[in-house]
Amino acid sequence: MWGHLPGRQSLRGGSHRLVPVPPTPVAAHVGSLPLFISTKSSSRLVAGRNHARRDSPAEPRVAHAAEIASSSPPPPGGMGSTGRDAEVTRGDFPDGFVFGVATSAYQIEGARREGGKGDNIWDVFTENKERILDGSSGEVAVDHYHRYKEDIELMASLGFRAYRFSISWPRIFPDGLGKNVNEQGVAFYNDLINFMIEKGIEPYATLYHWDLPHNLQQTVGGWLSDKIVEYFALYAEACFANFGDRVKHWITINEPLQTAVNGYGIGHFAPGGCEGETARCYLAAHYQILAHAAAVDVYRRKFKAVQGGEVGLVVDCEWAEPFSEKTEDQVAAERRLDFQLGWYLDPIYFGDYPESMRQRLGDDLPTFSEKDKEFIRNKIDFVGINHYTSRFIAHHQDPEDIYFYRVQQVERIEKWNTGEKIGERAASEWLFIVPWGLRKLLNYAAKRYGNPVIYVTENGMDEEDDQSATLDQVLNDTTRVGYFKGYLASVAQAIKDGADVRGYFAWSFLDNFEWAMGYTKRFGIVYVDYKNGLSRHPKASARWFSRFLKGDDAENKADMN
């Protein structure tokens, strides 16, 4: 999940597009890397667990925000409709559609100094209590490291058959250098993965969810150094070698935009300490793209033929709805999409950054060499989209906002030009409930990038951590139930529109550490009692999901009335 940032970075836009070219064979960029296999790694193969995919993406075509905005009718109840009363059933989705839940290692595992783990940048960042709203950290988090069996059993009992989790880089290589694999770390994830499979849950593993080994930040500068590309490839190779016989769905990097903008630009996230040096964020993004491609390259050269899995990238994106029919507002909405979705996917599909970014950033935006362009092109098997909310977007020549909005010349607006709000607000100031935006975003991504395989890898809403509420009150999260109904209905509509969406992961399975917001916001469908032994209690949203997955539609309708 994102955590808090000023206005929540959501970048898009630009009307000029590079001409897409067919995929071409790519030579190894990182070279022949050493293979680190734990002597305790399980060799058990799980047959028949991989999805079919295209060997090469279809020819992309230009898609425009205004085109998508006008092609979808306004939702029932108007622009501000929450979708709470949407009719959606398991039968609205194709057979084989994946329903799962998601978490990340730092937010739930805890056990900072156990199992041979090295420090990550968030371990060090949170030592300064002023950086986190409630002065907390993930040192204990919700203790998933010791309670993973309890959590997986609960997940399975609710009917979920897929789990997106992340592997902690410093649990595998404590110093990040890729020389000596940590056997204890490998053993933990082997146990976790094996127990998931035993309970009928398919693992979807994220290699990087923001917990960079602190040593790599200290010694090479983290994501600001080209050396990080090879270190990440070494780490990815170790994970593929140790877990790839059972893990068939891999995500290289979660929300690279947040690492770039909040970690290396604004400094609200780890590693921090770089406030105001805006050009750094574009360099951090650049090396994340190359690192993603390097990991995919390693997998395709060394593992795919035997393991048969898929490797994708997860990007976060708000939908940008043009505020008016004025050309300048429609182009502004396009820029917002360029500065978020296009920032990371355009280089992979088209070979370079969006032209609107080049025009506005000049020399601040790094340049791909011709070798790099060839190397990164089509290094992706699926697109993961994390989506929570949407905004109206208008052109503004000089907005009074942080640099990342000023350079885009956009204004993010919460009310329609009629005065109607875009949606009901959740606990976080940036999160409005706008289900119809997800349908438009999925259709935009499908049309722009040649209808790639898409997973909605995160979607959810938060509530305040209300210490005065009773347990019965906090478990009765009917607003979240309505959120999921509306957004799932939007996904089903996008599939009917032709988008190749294969799965949906609710964020989050457990209440957890929410980055700069600490434990003040709760995204979980399972309540974690922070004051009473971290006990787990399924909320109404978890029970609704369970009935939804089992096809108990009548009971779900009654539950909402």
Per-residue pLDDT reduced to its tens digit, 37-70: 443 433 332 323 333 334 444 444 556 777 776 6
Q: Above pLDDT 90, what percent of the chain?
A: 77
Per-residue pLDDT reduced to its tens digit, 69-107: 666 655 555 555 556 678 899 999 999 999 999 999 999
Please check if 190 is assigned to a binding site: no
H or E element, residue 292: helix 279-302
Please check if 483 is assigned to a binding site: no
pLDDT score, position 72: 62
CATH homologous superfamily, domain 65-560? Glycosidases (3.20.20.80)
pLDDT score, position 18: 27
- pTM for the model stands at 0.89
Please tell me the number of Cα atoms within 13 Å of 74 on its side-chain side: 9
DSSP per residue over 483-535, as a string?
HHHHHHHHHHHHHHHT--EEEEEEE-SB----GGGTTSEE--SEEEETTTTTE
Q: State phi, psi for 531 to the nearest 5 degrees.
A: -95, -10
Please check if 249 is assigned to a binding site: no
Q: What angle do CA 190, 193, 199 make, to 5 degrees?
A: 135
- Choose the catalytic residue: 310, 334, 458, 463: 458
Q: What is the pLDDT along the chain (561 residues), one digit of tens a residue?
A: 544 333 333 322 232 222 232 332 333 334 334 444 443 433 332 323 333 334 444 444 556 777 776 666 555 555 555 566 788 999 999 999 999 999 999 999 999 999 999 999 999 999 999 999 999 999 999 999 999 999 999 999 999 999 999 999 999 999 999 999 999 999 999 999 999 999 999 999 999 999 999 999 999 999 999 999 999 999 999 999 999 999 999 999 999 999 999 999 989 999 997 756 678 999 999 999 999 999 999 999 999 999 999 999 999 999 999 999 999 999 999 999 999 999 999 999 999 999 999 999 999 999 999 999 999 999 999 999 999 999 999 998 877 766 677 788 898 889 887 888 999 999 999 999 999 999 999 999 999 999 999 999 999 999 999 999 999 999 999 999 999 999 999 999 999 999 999 999 999 999 999 999 999 999 999 999 999 999 999 999 999 999 999 998 645 555 544
Distance CA(81)–CA(269), nearest Å, equals 33
Distance CA(523)–CA(513), nearest Å, equals 10
pLDDT score, position 403: 66
Please check if 507 is assigned to a binding site: yes
CA 146 to chain centroid = 25
Encoded tokens for 7: 């206005």
Please tell me the number of Cα atoms within 13 Å of 376 on its side-chain side: 25
Q: Which residues contact 266 (CB under 8 A, 6 or more apart)?
A: 5, 6, 275, 402, 404
pLDDT score, position 190: 99
- Choose the catalytic residue: 255, 310, 318, 321: 255
Amino acid of residue 245: D
Contact 13, 339 (CB under 8 A): yes
H or E element, residue 541: helix 540-550
Contact 529, 535 (CB under 8 A): yes
Q: Are strands 98-102 and 501-507 parallel, antiparallel or unpaired?
A: parallel
Contact 292, 253 (CB under 8 A): yes
Q: Which residues contact 163 (CB under 8 A, 6 or more apart)?
A: 100, 101, 102, 103, 152, 155, 196, 201, 202, 203, 204, 509
Annotated catalytic, 458? yes
Strand stretches in 342-400, DSSP E: 382-386, 390-395
Annotated catalytic, 318? no
pLDDT score, position 456: 99
Q: What separation in angstroms does the CA of 8 have from each of 390, 401, 522?
A: 11, 12, 17
Q: Rounded to the nearest 10 degrees, what angle do helices 144-158 and 183-198 cross at?
A: 20
Report the DSSP beta bridge partners of residue 314. Answer: 254, 384
Nearest Cα neighbor of 115 from 28, 203, 58, 190 is 190
Distance CA(536)–CA(350), nearest Å, equals 45
Contact 347, 353 (CB under 8 A): yes
Report the DSSP beta bridge partners of residue 98. Answer: 503
Supply the DSSP symbol for 164. Answer: E
Please tell me the number of Cα atoms within 13 Å of 161 on its side-chain side: 9
Please check if 275 is assigned to a binding site: no
Supply the DSSP symbol for 341. Answer: I
Contact 284, 269 (CB under 8 A): no
Distance CA(505)–CA(77), nearest Å, equals 26
Q: What separation in angstroms does the CA of 145 have from each of 105, 115, 198, 498?
A: 9, 10, 18, 40
Please check if 359 is assigned to a binding site: no
Distance CA(203)–CA(215), nearest Å, equals 28
* CB contact burial 406-437 (16+ within 10 A = b; e otherwise): ebbbbbbbeebeeeeebbbebbbebbbbbbbb
pLDDT score, position 399: 77
Distance CA(266)–CA(258), nearest Å, equals 10
Contact 224, 260 (CB under 8 A): no
